[in-house]
Amino acid sequence: MKKQRPVTFNHNPLLEKGLPAWRPRLVLLALLTGSLALVGRAAYLQGFNTEFLQAKGESRYERVISIPATRGRVTDRHGDVLAVSTPVRSIWALPSDARLSPADARKLANLLDMDVNELNSRLASERDFVYLKRQVAPPVAEQVKALKLPGIHQQQEYRRYYPGGEVMAHVLGFTGVDDKGQEGVELAFDAVLTGQAGSRRVIRDRRGQIVEDVESIRPPRDGADVALAVDAKVQYLAYSALRQAMTTHKAKAGAVVVLDARTGEVLALVNAPTYNPNNRANLSGAQLRNRVLTDVFEPGSTMKPFIAALALERGKVQPGTVIDTAPGRLTIGRATISDTHRHGLLTVAEVIQKSSNVGTVKMAMGFQPDEMWQLFKDLGFGAPLNLGFPGEAGGRLRPARSWRPIEQATMSYGHGISVSLIQMAHAYLAFARDGELLPVSLTRLDGPPSGGQRIFSAETARAMRGMLELAAGPGGTAPRAQIAGYRVAGKTGTAHKLENGRYTNKYVSSFVGLAPASDPRLIVAVMIDEPSAGQHYGGAVAAPVFAQITEGALRALGVAPDAPLAPLQVARQPDAPDPARERM
């Protein structure tokens, strides 16, 4: 066998075959082109278009955080603080970083007043960010911070505090956990009270800790303060008197509103039942209802003075004009209207004093329905007063073309029409201001009121004040509304409640009064819903509440007396007729 010669590397046949001359040139050109492209791209990114790379880098460590603004304060007319925001902390976590031992979890849950299972459930969330507890008091937040737990962080927030508690609850309302208004003035003036949050740019590490404050982007703008027309002293007087009446008469609910007769400002607004806005656990709908504005009821005899005023204004009667109310009944169609007592001949002034249904209806039936409807509309019935309060009711006032004669008759003494308590107080401004009706204001007015509307002549309004003074005096339906040292004018109302389209044996008792009658400064309207302790007439239930509030308020405001300081004689003999019995 012939022996083969060994082949060495430098004599490899594959190497002996020469490469094409163009191939190395092509590879060299490709490498040069790639290099030039990389150089060009690097120059473009670093020299001409740096924003993209900077944005990508900054997104990994730079954050823009919000700086909360302080919500504006709410004060009463004298500057006393009624609502203020106090700094608190919110505890939040990054679940991916919050790896707590069982002992640490128990400590944290105990400080936050949480169930440890709930805490662990939140920390096990797949979300990037979770709140553990909102609005934590600063001392508690400091104890949490001292634990130095990984992934557990804090941020500053604000919590609303209401020094007046349940006394001011329905005026102020409250805010939610995000410091946004949810009820009352807090909601009505939320746009004014809410400030504008600021922002700043910071650098954070992967655990969310701020390691550098880069710059302030926009400083926070605090909300503006709101000065209410409410007088805190008058508000407390109204609250105390209403609470006492609720207990005495075992009532379901009640409401009081006090207006300044000179300006139309709301000096007090109280409802019962109430609540503490600082602790809203276990609240019910009944507690939250602002009955002064949201609840409507048939006003009963408090409507009668408007019919008498219309008759005076049109020249149909004079205060001394005699009306025959005998035999105490009046039939219209198939319905019969009755007085509680037979009075016979009564003057117009005595019709109001004795609260005669028959006398009022005889005056009312001398008008066309359109005339009465226009008066009610001008007085503000049938539409909200547009105070800005949430849920403000407009009441029920049907178009005049749909009135039947019996409906026109019953509306003259407050049945078949529904109003809110603030609407009724507002309408009585026309009597207090010599016939001029002003808009109601929740905020303090720093100048003379504007927007008044002439409803009655001054002569008519003054004549009506005289009649209302008789109604609130001896021989009228509300002698218990009298105040030592002041002349009082007002009218009671007692109406059956309408449920499911039928009248029941439940009542709404009310009283609307002015004082001092010679130059009215206050209008006080009282409504007691379903008194159940044996009395239900407005003169016995609501009028004493008016007296208690008005006496204290007039003295607190420094209003000079306009009557001799003589002892009041409101007692009666056991066998004498009850002067406080209200005529339906």
> Which residues have a catalytic role annotated?
301
Shortest CA distance to 475 belongs to which of 578, 563, 336? 578
Tell me how far the alpha carbon of residue 522 is from its chain's centroid: 23
* Per-residue b or e along 348-372, where b marks 16 or more CB atoms closer than 10 Å to that residue's CB: bbbbbbbbbbbbbbbbbeebebeeb
Coil, strand or helix at 28 = helix
End-to-end CA gap in the chain:
145
Rounded Cα–Cα distance for residues 330 and 338 (Å): 6
User: Residue 51: beta bridge partners?
Assistant: none
Cβ count near 11 (within 10 Å): 10
Indicate the DSSP class of residue 416: S
CA distances from 568 to 387, 484, 485, 540, 565 (A): 38, 7, 9, 16, 9
Rounded Cα–Cα distance for residues 255 and 271 (Å): 4
Q: Which residues contact 34 (CB under 8 A, 6 or more apart)?
A: none
Q: Which residues contact 61 (CB under 8 A, 6 or more apart)?
A: 203, 204, 205
Coil, strand or helix at 17 = coil
Note whether 45 and 52 are within 8 A (CB).
yes
Coil, strand or helix at 454 = strand
Rounded Cα–Cα distance for residues 413 and 527 (Å): 17
Q: Is 141 exposed, middle or buried (0-12, 13-18, 19+ CB in 10 A)?
A: buried
**C-alpha neighbours within 13 Å on the C-beta side of residue 414:** 30
Which residue do the tokens 């954050």 mark?
Answer: 63
Over its C-alpha atoms, the chain yields an Rg (Å, rounded) of 38
Indicate the DSSP class of residue 48: I
Note whether 306 and 374 are within 8 A (CB).
no
- Token representation of residue 185: 């003035």
Shortest CA distance to 67 belongs to which of 177, 224, 199, 196? 199
Cβ count near 302 (within 10 Å): 28
Cβ count near 276 (within 10 Å): 16
